[in-house]
Amino acid sequence: METVNEKRIQGESIDLSGVEEILEKYKGVRGALIPILQQVQAVYGYLPEPAVNLIAEQLNMGASEIIGVATFYAQFHLTQRGQHIIKVCCGTACHVKGAKKITEKLSKTLDVRVGMTTEDKLFTLEEVACLGACSLAPVMMVDEDVHGKLASDTVSEVIKTVKESNISQ
- Judged by CB under 8 A, which of 13, 75, 79, 165 binds another protein? 75
- For residues 117 and 123, give the distance between their C-alpha atoms in angstroms, rounded to a whole number: 6
Q: At 141, phi and psi to the nearest 5?
A: -125, 125
Total binding residues toward another protein, as defined by CB under 8 A: 42
Is the preceding peptide bond at 48 cis, omega within 30 degrees of 0? no
Q: Which is nearer to another protein, 5 or 83 (CB)?
A: 83
- Judged by CB under 8 A, which of 136, 142, 158, 162 binds another protein? 136
Q: Which is nearer to another protein, 87 or 112 (CB)?
A: 87
> By CB under 8 A, is residue 137 in contact with another protein?
yes
Find the part of the chain contacting another protein (CB under 8 A) among 2-10, 13-21, 32-40, 105-113: 32-40
- For residues 112 and 129, give the distance between their C-alpha atoms in angstroms, rounded to a whole number: 20
x/- letters, 91..110, toward another protein (CB under 8 A): xxxxxxx-------------
- For residues 73 and 111, give the distance between their C-alpha atoms in angstroms, rounded to a whole number: 26
Shortest spacing between CB 53 and another protein, in angstroms: 17
Question: Please, which residues have CB within 8 angstroms of residue 117's CB and are 6 or more apart in sequence?
Answer: 80, 81, 82, 123, 124
Instruction: Provide the binding-site residues for another protein, judged by CB under 8 A.
Output: 30-35, 37-38, 68-69, 72-76, 87, 90-97, 128-137, 139, 141, 144-149
